[in-house]
A and B are shown apart, each in its own frame.
Chain A
Amino acid sequence: VSSQQFSALTEVLFRFLTEPKEVERFLTQLSDFATMNKISLGPLKNIVKSILLVPNGALKRNLSSEQVRADFIALGLSDEKASYFAEQWKVNSPTLTRLAVGQTLMINQLIDMEWKFGVTAGSSELEKVGSIFLQLKLVIKKGSQMENVYIELTLPQFYSFLHEMERVKTSLESFS
Chain B
Amino acid sequence: QLVSALHNLTRHVVYRGLTRAEDILSLFPENFHQNLKNLLTKIILENISAWRNEAQASQISLPRLVDMDWRVDIKTSSDSISRMAVPTCLLQLKIQEDVALCGNSPVVSALTMELSKETLDTMLEGLGRIRDQLSAVANK
Contact = CB atoms under 8 A, between A and B. Distances in A.
Interface of A: 59-62, 97, 100-101, 103-110, 113, 115, 117, 120, 123, 125-129, 131-135, 138, 140, 149-153, 155, 157-159, 161-162, 164-166, 168-169, 171-172, 175-176
A97 B17 contact: no
Given A62-B81, A97-B81, A175-B87, A127 B123 contact: no
B15 A125 contact: yes
Interface string B99-140: 000000000000111111101111110111011011000000
Contacts of B91: 110, 168
B56 interface: yes
A150 B80 contact: no
Among A117, A138, A172: residue with most chain B CB under 10 A: A172
B14 interface: yes
Contacts of A109: 113-116, 119
Interface size for chain B: under 10, 10 to 19, 20 to 34, or 35 or more residues?
Answer: 35 or more
B116 A106 contact: yes
A3 to B, nearest CB: 31
Interface of B: 11, 14-17, 52, 55-56, 58-65, 68, 70, 72, 74-75, 78, 80-91, 93, 95, 111-117, 119-124, 126-128, 130-131, 133-134
Contact of B62 (A140, A152, A175): A152
B70 A168 contact: yes
Nearest to B69: A164
**What is the predominant secondary structure among interface residues of chain A facing chain B?**
mixed
Contacts of B131: 158-159, 162
Contacts of B70: 164, 168
Contact of B112 (A107, A117, A133): A107
